[in-house]
């Protein structure tokens, strides 16, 4: 298991074009090239690609993996002059895949990363072979109060210790069991600079429900696994059930004893079920 500093050191960057602006995206890449499409991991708010620290290494033993930091997150661009909505993140993903010369991928996505993945899969059905959604924003399920509060002007005025306390609470109290201190420290790290603090506020402001209510979910053709933390109150399991009804090729895969941070709460079960799905094995 790597710490967040090591994870950052192993990232590389690419330049993407979003709404006419060239922006730097940091991403973690591991695993061999092969005949199977690479697996792209998309995180949510207020996390970054380090969310996948316990999942990527297992998948990377067999598949090429790419875990980007969304724009405004982690080690990607944080300047205060671009859109961070999931519409813009979808454009980022499309540009990154073109930069890496990838025509087909599997997507594994959590939280607002799930909204990005849903948009991309609906608009590019031939580009997504398999889709895994975990406690993903969809329909009108978001933004939640915690994220809305992060976007209030008073959050921008918080002193650093108060902001850190709020984030600490989200990741400690939001864990199903005892939170791993390295996970908590890693999740907080990008936001504890002046630039990161402002970027977090801008990211929260950019949450726009219209970007998932406008989707034609029936356009999504990818084989889909709804690998969902069953005890989540922020993105409840009822939304996974709704997705299962609306997506042509979707399978429900609830994970008990897991809240919103399901890749962390149930990392072993999560990566085992993911590995089976990507390999085409059903339980």
Tens-level pLDDT at each residue, the chain (283 residues): 799 999 999 999 999 999 999 999 999 999 999 999 999 999 999 999 999 999 999 999 999 999 999 999 999 999 999 999 999 999 999 999 999 999 999 999 999 999 999 999 999 999 999 999 999 999 999 999 999 999 998 999 999 999 999 999 999 999 999 999 999 999 999 999 999 999 999 999 999 999 999 999 999 999 999 999 999 999 999 999 999 999 999 999 999 999 999 999 999 999 999 999 999 964 4
What the block records as the tokens of 139 is 């329909």
Task: Give a yes or no: residue 167 inside a domain.
Answer: no
C-alpha dihedral sign at 275, 279, 64, 228 = negative
Residue-number span of the structural domain to which 14 is assigned: 4-142+209-279
Task: Give a yes or no: residue 15 inside a domain.
Answer: yes
pLDDT value of residue 283: 40
**Tally of domains within the chain:** 1
* Nearby residues of 279 by Cβ (< 8 Å), 6 or more positions away: 62
What the block records as the tokens of 53 is 């620290």
* pTM for this prediction: 0.98
Q: What residues does 12 pair with on adjacent strands?
A: 27
The conformational region for residue 190 under phi > 0 = left, psi -120 to 50 = alpha, else beta, is: alpha
Task: Give a yes or no: residue 58 inside a domain.
Answer: yes
pLDDT value of residue 148: 94
Task: Give a yes or no: residue 263 inside a domain.
Answer: yes
Task: Give a yes or no: residue 180 inside a domain.
Answer: no
Task: Give a yes or no: residue 170 inside a domain.
Answer: no
What the block records as the tokens of 219 is 């356009």
> What is residue 111's three-state secondary structure?
strand
Q: What is the pLDDT of residues 71-102, one digit of tens each?
A: 999 999 999 999 999 999 999 999 999 999 99
Task: Give a yes or no: residue 186 inside a domain.
Answer: no
Q: What is the CATH number of the domain that holds 84?
A: 3.40.50.1820
Taking each helix axis from N to C end, the angle separating 160-172 and 181-188, rounded to the nearest 10 degrees, works out to: 140
DSSP H or E segment with residue 30: strand 21-30
> How many Å apart are CA 156 and CA 80, to the nearest integer?
13
Task: Give a yes or no: residue 243 inside a domain.
Answer: yes
């Amino acid at each position: 298991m790597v710490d967040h500093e090591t994870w950052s050191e192993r990232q590389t960057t690419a330049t993407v074009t979003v709404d006419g602006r060239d922006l730097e995206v940091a991403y973690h890449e591991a695993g061999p090239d092969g005949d199977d499409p690479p697996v792209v991991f998309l995180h949510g708010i207020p996390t970054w690609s380090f969310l996948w620290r316990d999942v990527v290494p297992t998948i990377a033993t067999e598949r090429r993996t790419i875990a980007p930091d969304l724009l405004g997150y982690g080690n990607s661009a944080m300047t205060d002059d671009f859109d961070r909505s999931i519409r813009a993140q979808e454009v980022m993903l499309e540009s990154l895949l073109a930069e890496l010369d990838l025509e087909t991928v599997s997507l594994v996505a959590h939280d607002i990363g799930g909204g990005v993945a849903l948009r991309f899969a609906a608009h590019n059905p031939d580009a997504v072979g398999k889709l895994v959604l975990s406690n993903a924003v969809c329909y009108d399920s978001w933004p939640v109060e915690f994220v809305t509060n992060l976007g209030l002007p008073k959050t921008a005025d918080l002193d650093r210790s108060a902001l850190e306390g709020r984030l600490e609470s989200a990741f400690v109290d939001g864990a199903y069991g005892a939170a791993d201190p390295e996970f908590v420290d890693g999740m907080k790290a990008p936001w504890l600079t002046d630039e990161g603090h402002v970027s977090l506020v801008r990211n929260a402001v950019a949450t726009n429900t219209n970007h998932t209510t406008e989707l034609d979910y029936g356009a999504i053709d990818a084989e889909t696994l709804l690998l969902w933390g069953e005890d989540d109150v922020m993105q409840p399991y009822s939304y996974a059930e709704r997705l299962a009804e609306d997506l042509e090729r979707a399978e429900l895969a609830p994970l008990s004893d897991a809240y919103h941070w399901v890749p962390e709460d149930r990392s072993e079960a999560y990566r085992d079920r993911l590995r089976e799905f990507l390999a085409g094995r059903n339980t």
